[in-house]
Amino acid sequence: MSRSWNRTTHAIAGAATALAVLTACGGGGDGDTAAPGADGKPVEITFWGWAKGTKDVVDAFNASHTDIKVKFEEIPSGNAGGYAKISNAVKADNAPDLVSIEYPMLPEFVSQGSVQDIGELVGDDTKKKFLPQTVELTTLGGKTWAVPFDAAPQAFFYRKDLFAKYGVEVPKTWDEFRAAAEKVKKADAKARIGTFFPDDPTTFQAMTWQAGAQWFKAEGDTWKVNTTDAATTKVAAYWQKLLDDDLIRNNASFSPEWTNSLKSGGTVGYLGAAWGAGVLKGTLPEQDGKWAVAPVPSWDGKAASGMLGGSTFAVTKSSKKAKAAVEFAKWMTTTEEGVKARIASGTSSAFPAAGELRPAAKKAFDAKFYGGQDIYQVFEDAGKSINPNWSWGPSTGTTNSVVKDRFGKVSGGGATIADAVKAGHDATVAELKKRGLKVEG
């Protein structure tokens, strides 16, 4: 296993004491004790998720298993309403057995008591299969709250045909990215190199993560919050200047405006993560062979990445079928059959947290859209460069909600990016104090 991957663990593990405080009120269901199919009948579990290829995975599992049957419901992505739906279902005591939760939001669900400790069902042998930092991100207060699925190192997707046409070099630094943005606009007044997503704070957070920011830091039993540190301030000023100079678009992520601009060549790049390769491929099939993937630009030209998203599977607090739910989750995350079913759907480019499955993912993904490029090697290299000094706090929902609201006002001149992250800071500190947690910020 990569030394670079291993070095992320110390930063996350440092939050153990404060996380133990927040998990004191975390959920812990009475999970089932009967083995799947012990009574001769299949155990039926319910599962909510939204990731590309999920239905294909469920279908493959149901076709190959007789002891467990999965009833799947596709819900909106987390920040587009999925998390609210899960939270409401938990409160109403009609939640599914298994849900998809991204790493940033897991501490939030744990602190709300919405999910249960599944450590005894996952086991150390399974945990050893995953990247250590994904295990740390799902281990809060010494308890295991979810099964990791994928990691999400950043990447830059670009139209190689239009870059060649406009004479634009693939940028390696953020200074070069701005220069490339200027060149794209000069070559075609209607074209832009990329997009600022006002509805998606996680993309901005990944940029600050890459730059060395630490929004949440636990020391002893105290949370230290700082969304306005030097690294964040630098990133905010950079993107504000790109917006002010009309060098990038300001469209909601995956909106018709964003998609149509990609289709027309009005947007020639996308700053995303490993999973974005499948999104573009599924969204723009008519542009087969025209795209390529490069490392995300960095501030000094050296490899550096944050993590944008990444999914886990958690068992809700009221589920009485935890054993069956975890068995299904482990099949999705640790078997070649599970990974191949997702990737072969043609819409997913997930980068498995289980390192031994990445060759299977690479083989299953049809890279023709990217001209046959070995995009998984790009992701592998990016993963090794993920900045280790980042952990998530227990109120990410509050942070993101406030930042998103302010980001929406940036295009009209009603706020700046810096205003938005400062508002996120203030709201986060207030929320943690409201929950009775010790906080400095």
Nearest CA among 120, 125, 73, 122 for reference residue 100: 73
pLDDT tens, residue by residue, 268-289: 999 999 999 999 999 999 999 9
pLDDT at 117: 98
Which pLDDT band holds residue 4 (cuts at 50, 70, 90)? very low
pLDDT at 131: 85
Span 199-227, average pLDDT: 93
* Residue 128 neighbours by CB under 8 Å, 6+ apart: none
Which pLDDT band holds residue 411 (cuts at 50, 70, 90)? confident
pLDDT at 387: 86
Which pLDDT band holds residue 37 (cuts at 50, 70, 90)? low
- Report the alpha-carbon distance of residue 208 to residue 41 in Å, rounded: 50
pLDDT tens, residue by residue, 63-72: 999 999 999 9
Q: Which tokens hold the place of 183?
A: 């060149």
Backbone angles phi, psi at 67, to 5 degrees: -90, -25
- Report the alpha-carbon distance of residue 306 to residue 213 in Å, rounded: 10
Q: Which tokens hold the place of 412?
A: 């009209």
Which pLDDT band holds residue 80 (cuts at 50, 70, 90)? confident
pLDDT at 23: 58
* Residue 38 neighbours by CB under 8 Å, 6+ apart: none
- Report the alpha-carbon distance of residue 341 to residue 61 in Å, rounded: 9
Report field, pTM of the whole predicted structure over 0.85: yes
Per the model's pLDDT, the better-predicted residue between 429 and 33 turns out to be: 429
Span 361-368, average pLDDT: 94
- Report the alpha-carbon distance of residue 245 to residue 261 in Å, rounded: 19
pLDDT at 44: 98
The mean predicted confidence, pLDDT, of the chain is 91
Span 312-326, average pLDDT: 97
Q: How far is CA 40 from the centre of its chain?
A: 39
Nearest CA among 60, 17, 11 for reference residue 339: 60
pLDDT score of 13 more than 70? no
pLDDT at 431: 95
Span 79-97, average pLDDT: 95
Domains along the chain with CATH numbers: 3-151+309-353 (3.40.190.10), 154-306+390-440 (3.40.190.10)
pLDDT score of 1 more than 60? no
Nearest CA among 235, 324, 333 for reference residue 35: 324
C-beta separation of 198 from 252 below 8 A: yes
Whole-Å CA distances, 32 to 38, 45, 317, 328, 406: 12, 12, 12, 14, 44
- Report the alpha-carbon distance of residue 59 to residue 71 in Å, rounded: 10
Total residues belonging to the chain: 441
pLDDT at 14: 39
State the angle between helix axes of 396-407 and 417-434 in degrees (0 to 180), rounded to the nearest 10: 150
Buried b / exposed e along 324-342 (16+ C-beta atoms within 10 A): bbbbbbbbbbbebebbbbb
pLDDT tens, residue by residue, 139-182: 988 999 999 999 999 999 999 999 999 999 999 999 999 999 99
pLDDT at 26: 58
Please spell the DSSP secondary structure of 104-152, one letter per residue.
GGHHHHHHTT-B---HHHH-HHHHTTB-HHHHHHTEETTEE--EE-EE-
- Report the alpha-carbon distance of residue 22 to residue 437 in Å, rounded: 8
pLDDT score of 31 more than 60? no
pLDDT at 30: 53
Per the model's pLDDT, the better-predicted residue between 5 and 395 turns out to be: 395
C-beta separation of 37 from 69 below 8 A: no
Backbone angles phi, psi at 296, to 5 degrees: -65, 140
Which pLDDT band holds residue 36 (cuts at 50, 70, 90)? low
Which pLDDT band holds residue 24 (cuts at 50, 70, 90)? low
- Report the alpha-carbon distance of residue 56 to residue 315 in Å, rounded: 21
pLDDT at 25: 55
